[in-house]
């Protein structure tokens, strides 16, 4: 027991299992041991531990770590409050009384905050590398589809033709912003709370600079009270997961729509599809659906933590233990979803000529006709109106734009000539785009080249 002598009775069994975080914070064991080792080295450097005692502690902690790794000792959640107390108890069993010196000048409050920050830094690096992997697979697919025409939408109404490559590159941009957010959170997490004690530091001459350096942090935190109660960096982390999942969910939704019979544009790989137990013909996009579905949980995790923290007076309150399940769950879900999405993108097949005929002369080229009029010196508002009449005429005759004769065009405005009809050609529609950031295949190719250099 960590606080033994002040109490007459031991904690109620059910109260212990209600309050234990061991079942989920066991995944911090390695980080906790790293923190303890750095702390012990520091205690040696200020003369609180002899080198003999430190060696005992270091080898004892190493032993606990390998016992957990080899499952030869696994702490029981009915016995311990958390992984931190379990490890200390095990160390005591292994090395005896010397273990009692390890917790000098330390509280679990700064200990847990330091361990979580170490865990988070690793997790941020993992999310970054999984984001890059997904970017690469999107780029690989995009390279083959610079000229694959699809309808672009606004309001889910057909708007203007674009290419599949251009569409995929939009997601590459989103992932880049996710990486920027991850980098921001890395800086926030990269501060060492160790040596803050329970809330107000220590009367012992702890060398916080040393533990911060040894653990690879940028610097020790400035204010002990803040350090043990700060969960902003976790909220930031959860927010990266929220936005990341939001974007993956949009991509999932699009892939699901594209794989319908109605769109008939992509086929999901068998590796990421499932069948129906009833309908033999079905091939369902379950993995994409689950990415979309799990997004809700990740939103919930964010809400859960901001709600937990909002009314807590400084500094540490046990409520803060509730930070871990949302944190681990959001990380697992986002990391898994990035990986699954990479798999999906790598295995879809594309019906690349699906829209060529359908979009040739389609109403989605109407804006290009308005631009043609602008080049004839017609004010845009006026040309918008003229093209509106062209569309109306075509619609009333159930024709596409390229099925209208020059006479019919001229009946709306004399300015039309043969060259106007060139804008109805879908093959050249993308090439006619001239602005930076447009789906022009030349520009998309140079974007792809830049991304490949960058990644
Ligand atoms: N398991 C606790 C947590 O995760 C560790 C800190 C406990 N501190 C305390 N004063 N009871 O927050």
| CATH placement of domain 4-104 | 1.10.275.10
Pocket lining: 321 vs ligand 1, CB cutoff 6 Å: yes
- Which pair of structure tokens corresponds to residue 85? 């107390």
Ligand 1: which of 108, 115, 319, 322 to mutate, judged by most atoms within 8 Å of the beta carbon? Answer: 108
Distance CA 166, CA 172 (A): 10
Cβ of residue 231 lying under 6 Å from some atom of ligand 1? no
Considering the chain, tell me which residue range(s) the CATH 1.20.200.10 domain(s) occupy: 109-355
Evaluate if residue 250 carries a pLDDT over 80: yes
238 and 305 Cβ atoms separated by less than 8 Å: yes
Q: How far is the CA of 322 from the centre of ligand 1 (A)?
A: 10
CB 90 within 8 A of CB 75: yes
pLDDT of residue 326 exceeding 60, the answer is yes
Quickly state the pLDDT bin for 279 (edges 50, 70, 90).
Answer: confident
Q: What pLDDT does residue 5 have?
A: 83
Report the chain's C-alpha Rg in angstroms: 31
Does any ligand 1 atom lie closer than 6 A to the CB of residue 108? yes
The answer to whether 316 and 199 have CB atoms below 8 angstroms apart is yes
- Count other C-beta atoms under 10 Å from residue 175's C-beta: 24
Give the Cβ contact number of residue 218 at 10 Å. 12
Distance CA 298, CA 2 (A): 35
pLDDT at 111 over 80: yes
Cβ of 368 closer than 6 Å to ligand 1, yes or no, is: no
Beta strands in 245-398 (DSSP E): 266-267, 349-350
Does 26 score more than 70 pLDDT? yes
Question: Does the predicted model carry a pTM greater than 0.85?
Answer: yes
| Three-state DSSP state, 284 | strand
Those residues whose C-beta lies under 8 Å from the C-beta of residue 28, and which sit 6 or more positions away, are 83, 112, 115, 116, 119
Cβ-based neighbours of 99, under 8 Å, separated by 6 or more? 57, 60, 88, 91, 92
Mean of per-residue pLDDT scores for the chain: 96
Q: Out of 109, 194, 228, 317, give the residue to mutate to test ligand 1, the one with the largest number of ligand atoms within 8 Å of its CB.
A: 109
Which residue's alpha carbon is nearest to atom 4 within ligand 1?
321
Q: What pLDDT sits at residue 282?
A: 84
Cβ contact 149:356 at 8 Å:
yes
Enumerate the CATH 1.10.275.10 domain ranges in the chain, comma separated.
4-104
- C-beta 320 within 6 A of ligand 1: yes
Cα-based distances in Å from 169 to 23, 337, 392, 454: 41, 19, 34, 14
Would you say residue 184 has pLDDT above 60?
yes
153 DSSP β-pair partners: 158
**With pLDDT > 70 as the criterion, what percentage of the chain qualifies?**
99
**C-alpha to C-alpha distance for 173 and 166, rounded to whole angstroms:** 11
- Alpha-carbon distance of 342 to 331, in angstroms, equals 17
Beta strands in 181-302 (DSSP E): 191-192, 219-220, 266-267
DSSP calls for 86-124: HHHHHHHHHHGGGGGGTTTT--HHHHHHHHHHHHHHHHH
**DSSP state for residue 274 in the 8-state scheme:** B
Q: How far apart are CA 334 and CA 242, in angstroms?
A: 9
Task: Quickly list DSSP for 176-208.
Answer: HHHHHHHHHHHHHH-EE-TT-TTTT--SS---H
318 pocket-lining for ligand 1 (C-beta < 6 Å): yes
Which protein residue's CA is at the shortest distance from atom 11 of ligand 1? 318
- Looking at the chain, the domain(s) classified CATH 1.10.40.30 span 357-454
For 399-427, b/e burial (b = at least 16 CB within 10 A) is ebbeebeeeebeebbeebeeebbebbebe
Nearest residue (CA) to ligand 1, atom 1:
82
Going by pLDDT thresholds of 50, 70 and 90, the confidence category of residue 22 is very high
pLDDT tier for residue 276 given thresholds of 50, 70 and 90: confident
- Where does 109-355 sit in CATH, by number? 1.20.200.10
Pick the CATH number of 357-454 from 3.40.50.10890, 2.60.120.10, 3.90.960.10, 1.10.40.30: 1.10.40.30
> Which residues does the annotation mark as catalytic?
155, 276
Q: What angle do CA 77, 81, 83 make, to 5 degrees?
A: 80
């Amino acid at each position: 027991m960590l606080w033994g002598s002040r109490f007459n009775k031991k904690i109620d069994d059910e109260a212990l299992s209600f309050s234990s975080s061991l079942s989920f914070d066991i995944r911090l064991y390695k980080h906790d041991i790293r923190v303890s080792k750095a702390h012990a080295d520091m205690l040696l450097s200020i003369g609180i531990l002899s080198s003999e005692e430190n060696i005992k502690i270091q080898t004892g902690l190493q032993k606990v770590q390998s016992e957990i790794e080899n499952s030869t000792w696994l702490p029981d959640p009915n016995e311990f409050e958390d992984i931190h107390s379990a490890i200390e108890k095990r160390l005591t069993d292994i090395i005896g009384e010397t273990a009692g010196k390890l917790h000098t000048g330390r509280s679990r409050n700064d200990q847990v905050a330091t361990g979580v920050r170490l865990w988070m830094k690793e997790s941020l690096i993992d999310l970054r590398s999984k984001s890059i992997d997904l970017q690469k697979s999107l780029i690989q697919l995009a390279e083959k589809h610079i000229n694959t025409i699809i309808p672009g939408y606004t309001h889910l109404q057909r708007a203007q033709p674009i290419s599949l490559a251009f569409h995929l590159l939009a997601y590459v941009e989103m992932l880049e912003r996710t990486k920027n957010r991850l980098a921001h959170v890395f800086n926030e997490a990269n501060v060492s709370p160790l040596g803050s004690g329970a809330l107000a530091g220590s009367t012992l001459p702890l060398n916080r600079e040393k533990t911060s350096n040894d653990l690879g942090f940028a610097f020790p935190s400035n204010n002990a009270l803040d350090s043990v109660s700060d969960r902003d960096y976790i909220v930031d982390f959860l927010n990266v997961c929220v936005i990341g999942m939001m974007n993956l969910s949009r991509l999932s939704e699009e892939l699901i729509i594209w794989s319908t019979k109605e769109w008939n544009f992509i086929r999901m790989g068998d590796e990421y599809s499932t069948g129906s137990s009833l309908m033999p013909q079905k091939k369902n996009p379950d993995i994409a659906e689950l990415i979309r579905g799990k997004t809700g949980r990740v939103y919930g995790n964010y809400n859960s933590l901001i709600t937990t923290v909002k009314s807590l007076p400084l500094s540490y309150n046990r409520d803060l233990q509730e930070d871990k399940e949302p944190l681990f769950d959001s990380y697992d879900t986002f990391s898994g979803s990035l990986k699954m999405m990479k798999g999906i993108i790598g295995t879809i097949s594309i019906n690349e000529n699906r829209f060529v005929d359908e979009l040739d002369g389609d109403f989605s080229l109407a804006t290009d006709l308005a631009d043609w009029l602008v080049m004839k010196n017609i004010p845009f508002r006026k040309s918008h109106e003229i093209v509106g009449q062209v569309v109306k005429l075509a619609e009333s005759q159930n024709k596409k734009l390229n099925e209208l004769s020059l006479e019919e065009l001229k009946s709306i405005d004399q300015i039309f000539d043969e060259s106007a009809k060139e804008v109805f050609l879908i093959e050249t529609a993308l090439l006619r785009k001239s602005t930076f950031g447009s789906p022009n295949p030349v520009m998309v190719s140079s974007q792809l080249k830049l991304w490949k250099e960058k990644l």
